[in-house]
């Protein structure tokens, strides 16, 4: 441990992975993921206990939701593209990546809203309706949080706060965004795909 002799030769607050801020985001994602695990458990539990056909009004329509899913997955790609840009110091690529991701995220929420408007199901219809709107609504809230993170990071990107060495906020916002997308894959599979698998 030769470094102990001259401790200040060590880097000061490096914005690296495995810095405390990075761990905090990883652990937040872990505990948030568990929240969705328990909610999807509730969905499967009530589905398995149902005495009437499940879902009560037949499987949900896929017309809008498949393109919307593709769109959200694509936004993970644009986020990755922007983040890998700043790792090489490419400011414009970061700004563009964040901006396209933001737009795709907003479009996702708008289409989700249109989907809500088209269905006759309500949260008050039955337990299935309660589950459907709570799980997709909570996911939507997470998309919104991801977008707020994006806005804040975006402002900082346009202010030129980030460099190839220091961009932990971008990494964290990107991790969160990928997490939100992965949760959507689980939600999509559970709520939209499994009703057709029988």
Partner 1 sequence: MATTTAPGPVPLGERLRRTWETAPGLYGVLATVDHKVIGKRYLVTAMIFLLLGGLEAAVMRVQLARADMHVLSPEMYNELFTMHGVTMIFWYAAPILSGFSNYIWPLMLGARDMACPRANALSYWTFLMSGVFLYTSVLVGQMPNGGWFAYAPLSEPAFSPGYHMDFYVIALTFLSVSTTVGAINFIATLFKTRAPGMSVNRLPIFVWGTLTTSFAILFATPALTGACMLLFLDRRFGMHFFDAALGGSPMLWQHLFWSFGHPWVYIVVLPAMGIISDLIPTFARRPLVGYTFVAFATVSTGILGFGVWVHHMFATGLPQTSVSFFSAASMVITIPSAVAVLSWVATMMHGRPVWKTPMLFAAGFVVLFVIGGVSGVATAAVSFDWQLTDTYFVVAHLHYVLIGINVFAVLAGFYYWLPKMTGRLLNETLGKWNFWLMFLGFGVGFFPMHTLGLLGMPRRIYTYHAGLGWGWQNMMITIGAYVFAAGVLLFIANFFWSLVRGEPAGPNPWDAPTLEWATPSPPPPYNFAVIPTVGSRHPLWEDRLGEGTGRSVLDRGPVLDRGRDTFGTSPLDAEPEEILRMPEDTLWPFFLSLAVLVLCYGLLASFGWLSLVGVVALFVCTVGWLWPKPLPVEP
When the beta carbons of 69 and 140 are compared against partner 1, the nearer one is 140
Residues 6+ apart with CB under 8 A from 175: 25, 26, 29
Other C-beta atoms lying within 10 Å of the C-beta of residue 169: 18
Check binding of 18 to partner 1 (CB under 8 A): yes
Name the segment binding partner 1 (CB under 8 A); options: 79-87, 97-105, 122-130, 184-192: 122-130
Residue 64 within binding range of partner 1, rule CB under 8 A: no
Q: What long-range pairs does 76-82 form, CB within 8 A, spacing at least 24?
A: 76/177, 76/178, 76/181, 78/104, 79/174, 79/177, 79/178, 80/174, 80/178, 82/170, 82/174
Taking CB under 8 A as the binding criterion, the range among 19-27, 59-67, 91-99, 101-109 that sits at the site for partner 1 is 19-27
Q: Which of 68/174 has CB closer to partner 1? A: 174
Q: Counting contacts by CB under 8 A, is residue 120 touching partner 1?
A: no
Q: Is 173 in the site for partner 1 (CB under 8 A)?
A: no
């Amino acid at each position: 441990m030769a470094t102990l002799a001259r401790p200040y030769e060590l880097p000061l607050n490096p914005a690296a992975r495995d810095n405390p801020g990075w761990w905090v985001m990883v652990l937040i994602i872990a505990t948030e993921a568990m929240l969705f695990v328990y909610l999807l458990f509730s969905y499967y539990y009530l589905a398995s206990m149902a005495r009437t056909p499940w879902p009560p009004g037949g499987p949900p329509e896929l017309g809008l939701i498949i393109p919307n899913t593709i769109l959200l997955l694509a936004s993970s790609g644009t986020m990755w593209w922007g983040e890998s840009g700043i790792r090489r110091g490419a400011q414009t690529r970061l700004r563009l990546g964040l901006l396209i991701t933001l737009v795709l995220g907003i479009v996702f929420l708008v289409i989700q809203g249109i989907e809500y408007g088209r269905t006759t199901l309500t949260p008050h219809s039955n337990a299935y309706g309660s589950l459907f709107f709570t799980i997709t609504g909570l996911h939507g809230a997470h998309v919104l949080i991801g977008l707020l993170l994006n806005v804040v990071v975006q402002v900082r990107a346009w202010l030129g706060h980030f460099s190839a060495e220091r961009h932990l906020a971008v990494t964290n916002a990107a991790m969160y965004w990928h997490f939100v997308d992965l949760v959507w894959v689980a939600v999509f599979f559970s709520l939209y795909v499994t009703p057709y698998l029988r």
